[in-house]
Amino acid sequence: MKILVTGAAGFIGSHTAEFFANEGHQVYGIDNFSSYYNPALKKLNLADVEKAGVTFIEADIISNLKEKLPTDFDYVFHFAAQPGISATTSLEEYVQNNIFATQNLLDWVKETSPNLKLFVNIATSSIYGKEATLPETALPKPVSFYGTTKLAAEQLALGEQRAGKLNACSLRLYSVYGPRERPEKLYTKLIKSIYDQTEFPLFEGSEKHSRSFTYVGDIVKGMAAVIGKERKINGEIINIGSDVEYTTQQGIELIEKIIGLKAKIKVTPPRPGDQLRTTALIDKARKLLSYEPETSFEVGLEKQVDWYREKFL
């Protein structure tokens, strides 16, 4: 199969592109090396991606893709986005990178891949709002620019499907962690602070927040499961995650146990738009994709610590 992965130098996109290449597919990856975080970290990911046989092209999906990319893809996995809940990221950036960029990609795909089997939009549990403990049929109530614009991107893709212009589905991911996790996210930041013996900023009250922390390898299995199932999942929204909850405090304690050192916690003001609880209801994923997360939380965190040690110590 000929597969395009956007955001292929990022956290989850890099793992997905690498997996499909190792499975023998013809994989193209694109990324624009946004300055949201240090591009050098993405280039570390890219080294592994290219080693697996992925053809990488530096490109921005908001610009003219015709000049950059080949045509006639069988599958597109759209990870590229303005990520996270950040007070320093403007609404304009979220709208540009999550809404306009997605529509530009959709328009390009319709024109250049008329036989596309499936456009896979990668969405987020942030679409649900503060309590992401709901089935896919629930009314979305996002409370952040990120969740709102990702909902819009999802509906752009599904709108093209409803109009009969392409096959598409949307996968809503839950609190992904593991090797290559972005530097501003919880566990990479925590691991770094412990090894550097610096203060770890913890948003007030967030130690009680509950999450469906999902190992990136289990997320990739969800990506792989859509291949060949386009008729079954065309037009569907599907939660992909773990249905086991842990608090942020439990995660911190596991990292401290794995490393053998205590974190220096510094409590900071609460973050607006943060989710209080997420629990992935994955009955639909089990039914349609035979999806089942397998990696325990502690094993996944051990793998993340091992990755950090290998790359940065």
- Beta-ladder partners of 6: 30, 78
The tokens for 166 are: 């392409």
- Beta-ladder partners of 124: 173
Angle of helix 297-312 versus helix 186-196 axis, rounded to 10: 50
For the question of residue 291 being annotated catalytic, the response is no
The tokens for 297 are: 């939380």
Q: Phi then psi for 288, rounded to 5 degrees?
A: -85, -30
The tokens for 26 are: 């013809």
Catalytic residue, chosen from 128, 146, 187, 215, is: 146
User: What's the Cα-to-Cα distance from 301 to each of 31, 209, 259, rounded to whole Å?
Assistant: 26, 18, 10
Q: Which residues are catalytic, by number?
A: 146
